[in-house]
Structure 1
Amino acid sequence: MIRLHLLRNCIVASVVLSACGPTPAPPPPPPPPGNDLVVFLRQGAVTWFRGTDDQGTGLDYDLARMFATEHGLTLKIIATNNPVQRLANAPSGAMIGAGGIYRPPAPLPATDGDALVYSSAYYAIEPVLIYNVDGFKPGTWKDLAGETVGILEGSGIEAALVKVRNEHPEVRWQSLALPSTEALISQVSDGTLDYAIVASSEANATRSVYLTFDTAFIVAGKQELAWAFSKAETRLRDQVDSFFARCRRDGTLAKLIERYYSRGQVTRLDAGVFQDRVKSLLPQFRENFERAQDETGVEWRLLAAISYQESLWDVQATSETGVRGLMQLTEETARHLGAVDRLDPQASITAAARYVGYLKDKLPARIQEPDRTWL
């Protein structure tokens, strides 16, 4: 199931997260109404990614959604590549900056951060140096003399690297205004940038999407991730701290961390084959998957992931046990679900979608999404 979850997310990434170039910052929003909670959120493989619906999913998004629901607020997500800067320049109101923001050490350096306060930490990561595998793998900072190392602007990583930068002036540091950590990883993977510093969790989450980067070494101790608030919103900050504390006590935070950070890994060889087939085969069947979604309500990317897991999107696939077709249906199951020809892509996919819906309908009503899908 972990592999299926990963394949489905890789399909989302391959289809949706291809636009990684810098985007111009929109103007500051107007002050929110009293019942709105505005969250300036950076997109990322574990923070918030879209593709399955209008909002998407991710650790920071899920936490923000639950907090807003608990307090009777309407959640308003504003995508930004620099949540801290957007928050510092925003008017007053119930606003949060989130999405891979490092909690700065005390005292804060004299930056935009000195106008902000931060929540307690909800997770800790290790900053790592990544490199292009077709280039040189550095072993220490001395190997990077004269080289450029990219960092994501507005993530707060600059504060964590003050000591490192002071000790290694021979390294050229470049702060990049990119929409997400994935965009930074993408630049290293495609050779635009030789080196970058990213969160270890983000590197692990994207290694099956970007295949030509790897980790060289850990650059600093564990850094805490937190949410940011204007100094006028300390009451909101305290409410979030209480919410985080409760989520830790009742296991909610542990479950979310398990879902988004503790993913199984597809080997790089398998991932390369998968990406090739996403480009060459998935377009041939996407319309079939979408038709099945329209008929059954089962999301097409999930169906595509099941199909890849079953047959590698091979219409003629036949196993030793006699199951056949894209969805590897038995003759009896196909007949029961109305699929006359198991080798017909549409018939096979629609039958499998009905079966997935049938299985989900058998689950107790107390089990909500996304657990109904991933159990």
Structure 2
Amino acid sequence: MKVRIAIFIAIAVMAGLIFLGLGVRRTEYAPNWLAPPLAAPSTAGELVVLTLRGPTTTQSVPRDAAGLFSRGENQTGFEHDLATMFAEELGVAVKFRVMPSYSKLIHQLEANRAHIAAAGLSPSPDLRQKFAFGPAYKTIQYQLIYRTADKRPKNIADLGNQRLAVIAETPAHDIARDLTESSPNLVIEVLPHEAEPEALLKALESSRADVALVDTFAFADAKRIHPDLGAAFKVGREAKVAWAFSNAADAGLQQSVARFFEKIRGNGALNRLMDRYYGHIDRIQPVDAEALLEKMQSELPKLRPFFYEAQRLTDIDWRIFAAVGYQESHWDPFATSPTGVRGLMMLTEETADRMKVQNRLDARQSIVGGAKYISLLRDTVPSRIPEPDRTWLALAAYNQGYGHLEDARILTARMGLNPDSWLDVRKAYPKLREPEYYETLKHGFCRGDETVQFVENIRNYTDILNRLEKPLATERSGDIKFDEAVPAQAFGRRRVGR
């Protein structure tokens, strides 16, 4: 009898464990003792990556949006793209596990739930005791962010009893604790550990806090949509950023990461990725960002249907065209330049005729005509050139003509650089003002420095629009009437003519 009872208990315990294991396996956070050993990427066929949500790490983009840069995926971001490149180098799939907080990410890496963590981590002494790190690939530092309408603090002593916002259980939280030792009156406002850096900036704007600690890259990205905030001074030391390895990661994976970074530094791929996400963000001034945000409220609603139509005709994200239109005319349908270009998209008479635009001062005709011309230019740029470079090169041609783009690319090649990379071509464009260069090229003089500024501005405006405006794919197309023009009176004044 006792034997039967013992057997029954053993079976019950085993069944319970199996049931519990199956139940936990459906969740993201299984207890460590139930987590199976993580196989090497080459064995498992996939690289498992822990990351955080945010514009400098990974963020969602609509899977079905007609965007240019997501390659059909529903995630983008610097860390996302970097890890994807590494997985492609290994020849395996990549699986991202987006953690709700910094502390959860550290816990999951300790539990060997991923091969690497790619989340802008700095190898601090504490983290080095827990994990091995790969090569450093950028440098960050925390900044004290304040409202520019307030007096700018010069140092920690100026803060007095102000409220300093940080996210719980992050390096910034540790820095804030250290600051209170020298400034005991400083009040630390701790946001929940799952909050994103954007929440810190909103806390300032809502006056929940007076200042906040945000890292340099996160604020550089965010300040374009928060032009009323500024960086007062840097706090703490500069820190290197690197991938952290799970303790289960073998030496082979660490060696592969080291070789990967050596390769992308050597072939320029790392610089191109850095430029894609960060190369243009310091070129926009707060006053320009603020002006765009105001126009998005006052002018853009009247023009959205036309930009939507442009996307439907070209399969290019409407926010690209909106950014071009803002750069060209600040969305003024009646804009006219001394050189004869007119309308919201500032079309020449020749381009208007080519795109069958009858009235350049009609907002709809100008937007649709400009969009068709941009699409034509992008199709003319060699198809081997990947996005986003293909679009940036097409926009350079939109500004000064395709002939000057070809001259700039030829000059780029002469300089020993990559003529298929906007990062390199923009170095050549300003030289087209100099006789020693343009006299050796087919199309002659070009105000190439203006072209560079034109494209870089559009990159910034596109980023802002992407953050704040929905893609067409999320709108109800039944609400959009493409054959109805907004009356000229809606724009405040009327003009006639082409």
Q: Could you tell me which residue of structure 1 aligns to residue 226 of structure 2?
A: 210
**Quick check: 1:93–1:233 contact (8 Å CA) kept in 2?**
no
**Quick check: 1:151–1:197 contact (8 Å CA) kept in 2?**
yes
C-alpha displacement at 1:279, in angstroms? Answer: 1.9
**Quick check: 2:59–2:77 contact (8 Å CA) kept in 1?**
yes
Deviates more, 1:78-87 or 1:249-258: 78-87
SS at match of 1:278: helix
Matches within 5 A, 1:90-129: 92-104=112-124, 106=125, 108=126, 115-129=130-144
Q: Could you tell me which residue of structure 1 aligns to residue 467 of structure 2?
A: none
1:261 aligns with 2:278: yes
The normalised TM-score by structure 1 is 0.81
Q: Could you tell me which residue of structure 1 aligns to residue 83 of structure 2?
A: 64
CA distance in structure 1 between the partners assigned to 2:264 and 2:174 by the alignment: 28
Q: Could you tell me which residue of structure 2 aligns to residue 247 of structure 1?
A: 264
AA in 2 matched with 1:210? H
Q: Could you tell me which residue of structure 2 aligns to residue 185 of structure 1?
A: 201
**Quick check: 1:117–1:231 contact (8 Å CA) kept in 2?**
yes
CA distance in structure 2 between the partners assigned to 1:83 and 1:262 by the alignment: 26
CA distance in structure 2 between the partners assigned to 1:164 and 1:143 by the alignment: 12
Distance 1:151 1:257, change over 3 A: same
Measured against aligned partners, the alpha-carbon deviations of 1:113-154 in whole angstroms (never above 9, x if no partner) come to 865443322100221111122334322222234333222345
Q: Could you tell me which residue of structure 2 aligns to residue 28 of structure 1?
A: 28
Q: Could you tell me which residue of structure 2 aligns to residue 19 of structure 1?
A: none
Of 30, 39, 43 in structure 1, the residue corresponding to residue 49 of structure 2 is: 39
Measured against aligned partners, the alpha-carbon deviations of 1:71-117 in whole angstroms (never above 9, x if no partner) come to 1222333443425523523764544333332222x2x17xxx86544
AA in 2 matched with 1:261? Y
**Quick check: 1:80–1:179 contact (8 Å CA) kept in 2?**
no
Deviates more, 1:267-276 or 1:177-186: 177-186
AA in 1 matched with 2:225? V
C-alpha displacement at 1:173, in angstroms? Answer: 3.2
Measured against aligned partners, the alpha-carbon deviations of 1:284-337 in whole angstroms (never above 9, x if no partner) come to 222321221222122211111001011111122222233222211122211211
Distance 1:93 1:47, change over 3 A: closer
C-alpha displacement at 1:27, in angstroms? Answer: 5.2
1:366 aligns with 2:391: no
| Count of residue pairs brought into register by the alignment | 345
Of 96, 115, 118 in structure 2, the residue corresponding to residue 77 of structure 1 is: 96
CA distance in structure 2 between the partners assigned to 1:275 and 1:72 by the alignment: 43
CA distance in structure 2 between the partners assigned to 1:126 and 1:303 by the alignment: 35
Q: Could you tell me which residue of structure 2 aligns to residue 357 of structure 1?
A: 375
- Unpaired stretches in structure 2, ≥5 consecutive residues: 1-25, 62-66, 394-498
The normalised TM-score by structure 2 is 0.62
Distance 1:38 1:131, change over 3 A: same
Q: Could you tell me which residue of structure 2 aligns to residue 200 of structure 1?
A: 216
CA distance in structure 2 between the partners assigned to 1:160 and 1:123 by the alignment: 20
AA in 1 matched with 2:237? G
1:293 aligns with 2:308: no
C-alpha displacement at 1:237, in angstroms? Answer: 4.1
**Quick check: 1:83–1:98 contact (8 Å CA) kept in 2?**
no
Matches within 5 A, 1:137-176: 137-153=152-168, 155-158=170-173, 164=179, 166-176=181-191
Measured against aligned partners, the alpha-carbon deviations of 1:22-76 in whole angstroms (never above 9, x if no partner) come to xxxx952688892233333323333334444553533212201211211122233
Greater RCO, 1 or 2 (C-alpha within 8 Å, sep 6+): 1
Deviates more, 1:263-272 or 1:26-35: 26-35
**Quick check: 1:132–1:212 contact (8 Å CA) kept in 2?**
yes
- Unpaired stretches in structure 1, ≥5 consecutive residues: 1-25
1:302 aligns with 2:341: no
Distance 1:242 1:163, change over 3 A: farther
C-alpha displacement at 1:220, in angstroms? Answer: 1.3
SS at match of 2:153: coil
Distance 1:140 1:202, change over 3 A: same
C-alpha displacement at 1:170, in angstroms? Answer: 4.1
**Quick check: 2:89–2:260 contact (8 Å CA) kept in 1?**
no
SS at match of 1:214: strand
C-alpha displacement at 1:185, in angstroms? Answer: 2.2
SS at match of 2:233: strand
Matches within 5 A, 1:216-255: 216-235=232-251, 236-255=253-272
Identity of aligned residues (%): 32
**Quick check: 1:310–1:327 contact (8 Å CA) kept in 2?**
yes
CA distance in structure 2 between the partners assigned to 1:374 and 1:94 by the alignment: 36
CA distance in structure 1 between the partners assigned to 2:173 and 2:132 by the alignment: 17
**Quick check: 2:50–2:114 contact (8 Å CA) kept in 1?**
no
Distance 1:265 1:206, change over 3 A: farther
1:283 aligns with 2:293: no
**Quick check: 2:112–2:247 contact (8 Å CA) kept in 1?**
no
User: Aligned-pair RMSD on alpha carbons?
Assistant: 2.9
Select the structure that is richer in helix. 2
AA in 2 matched with 1:143? D
Q: Could you tell me which residue of structure 2 aligns to residue 131 of structure 1?
A: 146
1:311 aligns with 2:329: yes
Q: Could you tell me which residue of structure 1 aligns to residue 358 of structure 2?
A: 340
Deviates more, 1:149-158 or 1:304-313: 149-158
Q: Could you tell me which residue of structure 1 aligns to residue 74 of structure 2?
A: 55
Q: Which has the larger radius of gyration?
A: 2
Distance 1:171 1:118, change over 3 A: farther
**Quick check: 1:318–1:324 contact (8 Å CA) kept in 2?**
yes
CA distance in structure 2 between the partners assigned to 1:239 and 1:83 by the alignment: 26
SS at match of 1:131: strand
CA distance in structure 1 between the partners assigned to 2:385 and 2:343 by the alignment: 31
Q: Could you tell me which residue of structure 1 aligns to residue 419 of structure 2?
A: none
Distance 1:282 1:79, change over 3 A: farther
